[in-house]
Structure 1
Amino acid sequence: MVFVKDWEDFEIAAEAMYMQNPKTCRYSMKYIHSKGAVLLKVTDNVKCIQYKAEIMPDLKKIEKFTGNLMGHMASRE
């Protein structure tokens, strides 16, 4: 498991991982109440990347990223 510090790097790597192998790629989001953080995880059974968001502006970025990823999942391409 690799924690990515920069949001843009995480977003690019996660989308590339999904596009490379969409059938085995999984995306999860977990809220950690004690730390007030959201943990994002994308894995394809071989590699795993994670991002921890602790500030409020990151939530809008997460919302946009999740929408983009769901759009890829729902498309027929």
Structure 2
Amino acid sequence: MVYITQWEEFAVSSERLCLSSPEKTRFSFKYRANDGVFVVKVTDDRTCLQYKSTQKSDLRKMEMLNMRLLGLMTSADTNVDAETSAQSSEAMTGN
């Protein structure tokens, strides 16, 4: 499988995937201790996005993405305003 190499691209793509089908989207986090690598996977069974890193600084970004995706998936209003979504993505990526 192909991994997205830029965190910003992964975060934005994950959010878009979640907004397009929040009831089908799921994500997982995995840490491989022997490699010192953590992997994040977001999928809706048709599209699969993956990101991997060995940097501890990316853990905070993953935590922010986790909270954002959980909020999107559990929101009663799935028609999230695009501007609000973009602002959240900027805060998540630190730009």
- Normalising by the residue count of structure 2, what TM-score does the alignment of the two structures yield? 0.76
User: What's the secondary structure of 1:27's corresponding residue?
Assistant: strand
Could you tell me how far 1:2 is from its partner in structure 2? 2.8
Q: Which has the higher helix share?
A: 2
Moved over 2 A (4+): none
Paired residues in the alignment total 77
The within-5 A match list for 1:41-56 is 41-56=41-56
Q: Deviations over 1:38-58 (max 9, x none)?
A: 100011111101000210110
Distance 1:47 1:2 in 2: 12
Distance 1:70 1:24 in 2: 13
The within-5 A match list for 1:1-77 is 1-77=1-77
Aligned-residue sequence identity (percent) comes to: 36
Distance 1:30 1:15 in 2: 19
- Which segments of 5 or more consecutive residues in structure 1 lack a partner in the other structure? none
User: What's the secondary structure of 1:64's corresponding residue?
Assistant: helix
- Normalising by the residue count of structure 1, what TM-score does the alignment of the two structures yield? 0.93
